[in-house]
C-alpha cells in the first residue's frame, strides 16, 4: 500500500470509529486522533486535557503518578497512602520497581502503609491521626530514612493541613517528612502527579537541610533520572554508564534512596530517561544549580549507541573513547541478537499504547528487529512529547491520544497488527481476539528492556509472543 493510501485508509478508520460517539463527545475525541504526516510538528493531536466521562479511559490519577511512579520506588522511605484503604491497596507492589534491601527493616518498597480513613476521619479531619501514625512508624520502623505523605482524594476536600503535621514531625524526628498534594482528582491523568511529586522534591528535599553526607565530587558524576527500574532497567542502564567511565551518584527513583536524591544537585549532568515524569526537576536543577540535563534513550542498539555518544560528548575524550569501546564491545551481542531474531520478526507490525515515554522511545528497538510501528499513542503525554514523537514515527502512523477502550479495540481490529504492546487492562482484550500482546509498562513480568543486556531480552520476548504456536489454534480446526 502506498503511503498516501495508508494515510487515507487510517483517516477513514478514524472517521468511522468516531461515528459511535454522541455528537459532543465525537467532536472532542476527533482532536485526539490523527494520521501522522511528515513535517507535522506535533503529530496533529491535542493532549493533556480531561478524559471524557464514561468512555473507559485507560488513564490513572495524580496519586498514581506520585505514589505509584515517582515516590514509591524510593526504597528507604516510608510512603503513606493517606486516606481510605483502596488506593494503597491497589498500588501495592504492582509496578516491579526492583530494589535490594531488607524489606520492613531498612527498605519498604513492597509494603503498603495507609491511614485507612474511616468516616470519623472525614468528618473530623485526619491530621491528628497522621501525627500519631508517624509516631507509630518511627517506633516500629526506626530505620526508615524519611516519610512521604501521599494524599488521596479526600485530603484536599476536607481541608486537612498535612503540611503543618509534616513540618512538626520532621522537626521532632530530624528526618524528612514530605507532604505531597497528589489527590487523585487533580489534573487529568497521572501526569500532574509526576509534576506535583517533582515539586515536592524541590520544596521538601532540596530546600531542606537533609541528613545525607555530601558525596565527594568528580568530573564524571551523573545521575539517572526517570528510570523506575522496572524489571531492573536502571541497573542494565547504569552498568553501561559505569563502563564508559561515568559515576552514577543517584538513581531517580528506581532502587533510589533519599541520600541519592539529596546528593543529586552535586552531579555534573542529569541524564533523563523518562522526560515526561521528571523533566520538571531537571529543569529546576538547571535553573537553580546550573546542572545541564540531557535526554537519552536506552531502548534498542541504534538508540543506545546514539545516546552513549551524546552523553559522552558532554565529557572529555577519555569518556568518548570509552563510549566507542563499549559500543564495539557490545556489537557482537547486538549482532547475534539481531541475527537470531530479525528473521523471525522482520516486517511484523506493532501497535503501541503506553504512558508518557515509551510510545516513542521503544519505536527504535522494534525497528532494530525489522518491525514497524503502525500506530502509537500516550495515556498522559503533553504537546512536547508529541513533538518529540515526530522524530520516531513515519508518515501514515495512526496516532491516538488518551485512547478509549472502544477506539483501541476498533483500531486494532481494523489494522490487524502482528503485536499489540500496551498495558494489563488491554492485554486480554487483544489476546481474546487472537492477537499477540506484550505488556509495555511492566515488561509483562520480564525485563530489563533497557541497555544492551535488556535488548536481547526484549527481542526474545517479542519473538516469543508473536511466534507462539497458540495463535494458530485460536479457531477450532473444524471451523476452518
Instruction: Give the catalytic positions in this structure.
Output: 61, 64, 95, 194
Q: Pinpoint the alpha helices (H) of 290-348.
A: 301-312, 317-345
* Closer residue to other proteins (CB): 42 or 262: 262
Task: Give just the sign of the alpha carbon dihedral 51, 54, 58, 62.
Answer: positive
Q: Is 390 in the site for other proteins (CB under 8 A)?
A: no
Candidates 85-93, 284-292, 303-311, 369-377; binding stretch for other proteins (CB under 8 A): 85-93
* Closer residue to other proteins (CB): 348 or 441: 441
Q: Kindly write down the DSSP assignment for every residue of 95-126, as one continuous string.
A: S-B---S-BTTTB-TT--EE----HHHHHH-S
Instruction: Give the full edge-to-edge strand order of the sheet including 269-272.
Output: 247-253, 221-227, 269-272, 293-295
Q: Is 118 in the site for other proteins (CB under 8 A)?
A: yes
Q: Is 63 in the site for other proteins (CB under 8 A)?
A: yes
* Closer residue to other proteins (CB): 38 or 335: 335
* Closer residue to other proteins (CB): 164 or 336: 336
* Closer residue to other proteins (CB): 38 or 428: 428
**Residue 383's Cα: distance from chain center in Å?**
17
Q: Is 185 in the site for other proteins (CB under 8 A)?
A: yes
Q: Is 366 in the site for other proteins (CB under 8 A)?
A: no
Residue from 255, 368, 385, 418 binding other proteins (CB under 8 A): 255
Residue from 30, 85, 269, 294 binding other proteins (CB under 8 A): 85
Q: Which of residues 305-324 bind other proteins (CB under 8 A)?
A: none
Q: Is 226 in the site for other proteins (CB under 8 A)?
A: no
Residue from 7, 137, 365, 393 binding other proteins (CB under 8 A): 137
Residue from 232, 265, 375, 417 binding other proteins (CB under 8 A): 232
Run of H or E residues at 168:
helix 162-173
Residue from 32, 33, 76, 357 binding other proteins (CB under 8 A): 76
Residue from 33, 47, 48, 152 binding other proteins (CB under 8 A): 152
Q: Is 90 in the site for other proteins (CB under 8 A)?
A: yes
Tell me the C-alpha distance between 184 and 453, whole Å: 37
Tell me the C-alpha distance between 188 and 50, whole Å: 5
Q: Is 173 in the site for other proteins (CB under 8 A)?
A: no
Q: Is 3 in the site for other proteins (CB under 8 A)?
A: no
Q: Are 350 and 372 in contact (CB under 8 A)?
A: yes
Least distance from other proteins to the Cβ atom of residue 248, Å: 8
Q: Is 113 in the site for other proteins (CB under 8 A)?
A: yes
Q: Which of residues 402-431 bind other proteins (CB under 8 A)?
A: 404-406, 409, 424-425, 427-431
Cell matching residue 468: 507462539
Binding residues with other proteins: total (CB under 8 A):
127
Q: Is 61 in the site for other proteins (CB under 8 A)?
A: yes
- Helix and strand counts by DSSP (H, E) for the chain: 20, 14
Tell me the C-alpha distance between 164 and 263, whole Å: 26
Tell me the C-alpha distance between 386 and 42, whole Å: 5
Q: Is 116 in the site for other proteins (CB under 8 A)?
A: yes
Least distance from other proteins to the Cβ atom of residue 474, Å: 5
Q: Is 378 in the site for other proteins (CB under 8 A)?
A: no
For residue 350, say if its preceding peptide bond is cis, omega within 30 degrees of 0.
no
Least distance from other proteins to the Cβ atom of residue 462, Å: 12
Q: Which of residues 438-477 bind other proteins (CB under 8 A)?
A: 446-448, 452-453, 456-457, 459-460, 474-476
Candidates 45-53, 271-279, 304-312, 385-393; binding stretch for other proteins (CB under 8 A): 45-53
C-alpha separations of 388 from 42, 198, 464 in Å = 8, 21, 30
**Residue 449's Cα: distance from chain center in Å?**
13
Q: Kindly write down the DSSP assignment for every residue of 67-82, as one continuous string.
A: IIIIITT-TTSEEEEE
Question: ∠135-138-144 over CA atoms, to 5°?
Answer: 145
- Compute φ and ψ for 350, nearest 5 degrees: -125, 140
* Closer residue to other proteins (CB): 4 or 93: 93
Which residues are within 8 A (CB) of 416 and not within 5 positions of it... i.e. 6 or more apart? none
Tell me the C-alpha distance between 258 and 218, whole Å: 20
Which residue's entry shows cell 515526561? 276
Q: Are β-strands 398-400 and 419-422 bridged in parallel, bridged antiparallel, or unpaired?
A: unpaired
Q: Is 299 in the site for other proteins (CB under 8 A)?
A: no
Q: Which of residues 327-346 bind other proteins (CB under 8 A)?
A: 329-330, 333, 336-337, 339-341
Q: Which of residues 190-209 bind other proteins (CB under 8 A)?
A: 190
Amino acid at each position: 500500500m502506498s503511503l498516501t493510501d495508508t494515510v487515507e485508509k487510517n483517516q477513514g478508520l478514524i472517521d468511522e470509529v468516531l461515528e459511535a460517539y454522541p455528537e459532543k463527545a465525537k467532536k472532542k475525541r476527533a482532536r485526539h486522533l490523527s494520521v501522522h504526516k511528515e513535517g507535522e510538528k506535533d503529530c496533529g493531536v491535542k493532549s493533556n486535557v480531561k478524559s471524557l466521562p464514561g468512555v473507559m479511559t485507560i488513564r490513572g490519577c495524580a496519586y498514581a503518578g506520585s505514589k505509584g511512579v515517582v515516590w514509591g520506588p524510593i526504597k528507604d522511605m516510608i510512603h503513606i497512602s493517606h486516606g481510605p484503604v483502596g488506593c494503597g491497596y491497589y498500588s501495592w507492589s504492582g509496578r516491579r520497581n526492583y530494589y535490594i534491601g531488607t524489606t520492613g527493616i531498612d527498605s519498604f518498597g513492597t509494603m503498603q502503609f495507609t491511614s485507612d480513613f474511616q468516616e470519623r476521619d472525614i468528618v473530623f479531619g485526619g491530621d491528628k491521626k497522621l501525627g500519631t501514625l508517624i509516631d507509630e512508624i518511627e517506633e516500629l520502623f526506626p530505620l526508615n530514612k524519611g516519610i512521604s505523605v501521599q494524599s488521596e482524594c479526600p485530603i484536599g476536600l476536607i481541608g486537612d493541613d498535612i503540611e503543618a503535621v509534616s513540618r512538626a514531625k520532621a522537626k521532632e524526628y530530624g528526618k524528612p517528612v514530605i507532604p505531597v498534594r497528589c489527590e487523585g482528582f487533580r489534573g487529568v491523568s497521572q501526569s500532574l502527579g509526576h509534576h506535583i511529586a517533582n515539586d515536592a522534591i524541590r520544596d521538601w528535599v532540596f530546600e531542606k537541610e537533609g541528613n545525607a553526607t555530601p558525596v565527594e565530587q568528580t568530573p564524571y558524576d551523573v545521575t539517572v533520572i526517570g528510570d523506575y527500574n522496572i524489571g531492573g532497567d536502571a541497573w542494565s542502564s547504569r552498568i553501561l554508564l559505569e563502563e564508559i567511565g561515568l559515576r552514577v551518584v543517584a538513581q531517580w527513583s528506581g532502587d533510589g534512596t533519599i541520600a541519592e536524591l539529596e546528593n543529586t544537585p552535586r552531579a555534573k549532568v542529569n541524564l533523563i530517561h523518562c522526560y515526561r515524569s521528571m523533566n520538571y526537576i531537571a529543569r529546576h536543577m538547571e535553573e537553580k544549580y546550573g546542572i545541564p540535563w540531557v535526554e537519552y534513550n536506552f531502548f534498542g542498539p541504534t538508540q543506545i549507541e546514539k545516546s552513549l555518544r551524546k552523553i559522552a560528548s558532554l565529557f572529555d575524550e577519555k569518556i568518548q573513547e570509552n563510549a566507542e569501546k563499549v559500543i564495539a564491545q557490545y556489537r557482537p551481542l547486538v549482532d547475534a541478537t539481531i541475527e537470531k531474531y530479525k528473521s523471525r520478526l522482520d516486517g511484523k507490525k506493532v501497535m503501541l499504547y503506553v504512558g508518557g515515554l515509551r510510545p516513542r522511545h521503544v519505536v527504535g528497538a522494534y525497528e532494530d528487529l525489522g518491525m514497524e510501528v503502525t500506530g502509537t499513542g500516550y495515556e498522559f503525554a503533553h504537546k512536547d512529547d508529541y513533538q518529540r514523537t515526530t522524530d520516531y514515527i513515519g508518515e501514515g502512523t495512526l496516532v491516538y491520544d488518551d485512547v478509549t477502550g472502544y477506539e483501541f479495540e476498533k483500531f486494532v481490529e481494523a489494522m490487524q497488527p502482528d503485536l499489540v504492546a500496551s498495558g494489563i487492562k488491554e492485554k486480554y482484550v487483544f489476546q481474546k481476539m487472537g492477537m499477540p500482546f506484550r505488556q509495555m509498562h511492566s515488561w509483562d513480568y520480564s525485563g530489563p528492556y533497557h541497555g544492551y543486556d535488556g535488548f536481547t531480552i526484549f527481542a526474545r520476548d517479542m519473538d516469543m509472543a508473536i511466534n507462539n504456536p497458540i495463535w494458530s489454534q485460536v479457531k477450532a480446526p473444524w471451523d476452518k
